[in-house]
Amino acid sequence: MKKGFTLLELIVVMIIIGILATLGIQQYARATERARGAEARQILGQIRSTAAGYYLQNGTCVGFNDTLAGIGGNPDQIPTGCRATHYFNYYINIGYLTTDVMRATATRCIGGRGKPPSASTAFQLTLTTNFANGNDTWGGNGGY
């Protein structure tokens, strides 16, 4: 009696390995993209801290702007547009609901702009802060 595997058994094993590899690659891509979101969480937290200082000093978010948040086009600023040093670009919205609320948004760079690799979709991460009651709400899409 011959020992060994039949061609059918080998094909089934190869198909199973292919399916597992495909699932593994997809999970790896999702995990690395979530890790890139750490940049956005850190910078949005920095913007929130700066806005909190402004709110404590002025009693309102009105007047807080990109310049005060450190957002701009210079290399040493938080980027308003995609650039090779960041995965995201940032902007703020003051008075989102009331004069006590600020919303900061990070948008993932796409289309070859921003720090490589670019994403295929411009996912967003948002931080909405109500300074009157101290509530922070994270939102967005893309699993960040």
Q: Residues 111-134: pLDDT tens digits?
A: 888 888 877 888 999 999 999 999
- Full-model pTM: 0.79
**Percent over 70 (pLDDT), the chain:** 99
86, 40 in Cβ contact below 8 A? no
Token pair listed for 88: 């995201």
Name the pLDDT band for 27 (thresholds 50, 70, 90). confident
Q: What is residue 43's predicted lDDT score, i.e. its pLDDT?
A: 96
Rounded-to-integer distance, Cα 79 and Cα 60, Å: 25
Average pLDDT of the residues in 32-51? 92
- Parallel, antiparallel, or unpaired: how do β-strands 135-140 and 78-79 relate? unpaired
**Average pLDDT taken over every residue of the chain:** 89
The answer to whether 135 touches 127, Cβ cutoff 8 Å, is: no
Q: What secondary structure letter does DSSP report for 119?
A: B
**Per-residue pLDDT at 143 exceeds 80:** no
The predicted structure's pLDDT at residue 1: 63
pLDDT in tens, 49-103: 999 999 999 999 999 999 999 999 898 999 999 999 999 999 999 876 788 999 9
For residue 119, the model assigns a pLDDT of: 79
Max intra-chain CA distance, the chain: 89
The torsion of the CA quartet 40, 126, 62, 71, rounded to 10 degrees, works out to 30
pLDDT at position 51, please?
A: 95
- Tell me the CA distances in angstroms from 14 to 5, 10, 127, one per residue in order: 13, 6, 46
What is the average pLDDT across 21-27?
84
